[in-house]
Amino acid sequence: MSSILIIYSSTDGQTLKICQRLQAVIEQQHQVTVVSIDDIAQIDLTRFDKIVIGASIRYGHHSPLIVKFIKNNTPLLDSKPNAFFSVNVVARKPAKNSPETNPYLRKFLKRIAWKPKELEVFAGKIDYPAYKPFDRLVIRLIMWMTGGPTAPDAVVEYTDWNQVASFGDRLGKM
């Protein structure tokens, strides 16, 4: 049994939901701690055997806190089995739903020195009623341009939970 830390950045809760599903899968064989990037200063990273980071995309970028954390801890991350996953709605498209084809993940990996040993991309969720008016307008416009849902009350979860469970298995074995 090893001890796995999952660090996440989530604005509307979908990345957290994915982390909780990963935790449920991995916990059958390992000890799992899930922590927000906002609380990472309180965590002793050295006591974990493996580190996983998950972050959603907002307006084209992962959270700057995640980028800063990775830049400040690259040697430590490299010293353990590690993984990164991105959550975004572009990944709802089959041509953009893998680590090799998702444009956000490709761009992100070019910006950082860390080379995660495991990578994954999950399609996220559209939840217009939960968004602030400006965000709702902008995301509806982007969806209109890219063939997604535009009804102002649309709530669509694109996340493939079987894919999440498979990734959990991979994390358990890495």
Cβ at position 128, least distance to ligand FMN in Å:
9
CB 120 within 8 A of CB 87: no
Cβ at position 15, least distance to ligand FMN in Å:
3
Cα–Cα distance for residue pair 145/162, rounded to 1 Å? 29
- Specify the residue, 65 or 76, whose C-beta has the smaller distance to ligand FMN: 65
What is the binding site for ligand FMN (CB under 6 A)?
A: 10-15, 56-60, 87-90, 124-125, 131, 135, 139
- Specify the residue, 58 or 80, whose C-beta has the smaller distance to ligand FMN: 58
Q: Which residue is nearest to ligand FMN (CB)?
A: 124
- Specify the residue, 77 or 121, whose C-beta has the smaller distance to ligand FMN: 121
Q: Quickly list DSSP for 66-91.
A: HHHHHHHTHHHHHTS-EEEEEEESGG
- Specify the residue, 45 or 156, whose C-beta has the smaller distance to ligand FMN: 156
CB 83 within 8 A of CB 174: yes
- Specify the residue, 77 or 87, whose C-beta has the smaller distance to ligand FMN: 87
**Given the DSSP bridges, would you call strands 155-157 and 125-127 parallel, antiparallel or unpaired?**
antiparallel
Cβ at position 154, least distance to ligand FMN in Å:
12
Cβ at position 124, least distance to ligand FMN in Å:
2
CB 128 within 8 A of CB 154: yes
Cα–Cα distance for residue pair 117/59, rounded to 1 Å? 26
Q: Single out the residue of 4, 2, 6, 1 nearest to residue 120, CA to CA.
A: 6
Cβ at position 97, least distance to ligand FMN in Å:
11
